[in-house]
Amino acid sequence: MLRLAAFAVTSALAAAAAGPLPPLPLAGLLTAPDRLTIAMTDTGNPRLDREYRLECDPAGGDHPQKEQACARLEHLSQEGRNPFAPVSDRQICTMQYGGPATARITGTWHGQKVDATFRRTNGCEISRWDELEPLLPSGRS
C-alpha cells in the first residue's frame, strides 16, 4: 500500500514539473463542418436543374464554382450578414417576376443548421438570389 501511495505522489510531482497539458483539439469536434446541399429546379436551364453539394474549408463537393461559392458565403458572414436569412416581412419589394426558379439550401454553415428556400418571385427575392451568386448558379455566365 505504501508503494502505491509513493508511486501516486511521484507521478503527480512528475506531471506538475512537466507543466500543464496542451489543450485538446476540440474546435473541429464541437462544430459541424460547413456542408451544404443546393437543390435547384425550374431554372430554365436543364444543366442547372439538379442537386449540388458544397463543402467549405477546404472547398469540396460537386458545385461548379466551389471556391468562389465558399468565398462569397464567407464574405457575407464576415460582414455580419446571414447569407440564408429570409426577406423581412417588413421590407417593401418591387412586383417583378424573375421566373419560376427555386433553390433549396440545406446543411450546416458555421455550426448552424441551414434550411432556406430561394425564389425569384419579386424584386427582394431576386436580389436575395443574386446576392448569393455564384453559390446559386444563374446560368448567365
Question: 38-63, pLDDT tens digit by residue?
Answer: 999 999 998 889 999 999 999 999 99
Q: How far apart are CA 103 and CA 121, in angstroms?
A: 12
Q: How far apart are CA 112 and CA 128, in angstroms?
A: 19
Looking at the DSSP bridge assignments, the partners of residue 108 are 35, 113
**Regarding predicted confidence, which is higher, 51 or 15?**
51
Which residue carries 446560368 as its cell?
Answer: 139
Length of the chain equals 141
Write down the number of H helices and E strands in the chain.
4, 5
Contacts of range 68-74, beta carbons closer than 8 Å, 24 or more positions apart: 68/134, 69/134, 69/135, 70/34, 72/132, 72/133, 72/134, 72/135, 73/34, 73/109, 73/132, 73/135
Q: How far apart are CA 106 and CA 103, in angstroms?
A: 10
- Comparing C-alpha atoms, which of 40, 36, 35 is closest to residue 138? 40
pLDDT in tens, 84-138: 999 999 999 999 999 999 999 999 999 999 999 999 999 999 999 999 999 997 6
Each domain of the chain, given as residue ranges in start order, spans 34-131
Q: Residue 139 above 70 pLDDT?
A: no
CB 108 within 8 A of CB 115: no
Give the pLDDT of residue 104: 98
* Dihedral (Cα; 45, 88, 68, 58), 10-degree rounding: -120
Residue 8 pLDDT grade (very low, low, confident, very high; cuts 50, 70, 90): very low
> Is domain 34-131 given the CATH code 3.40.50.1980 in the classification?
no
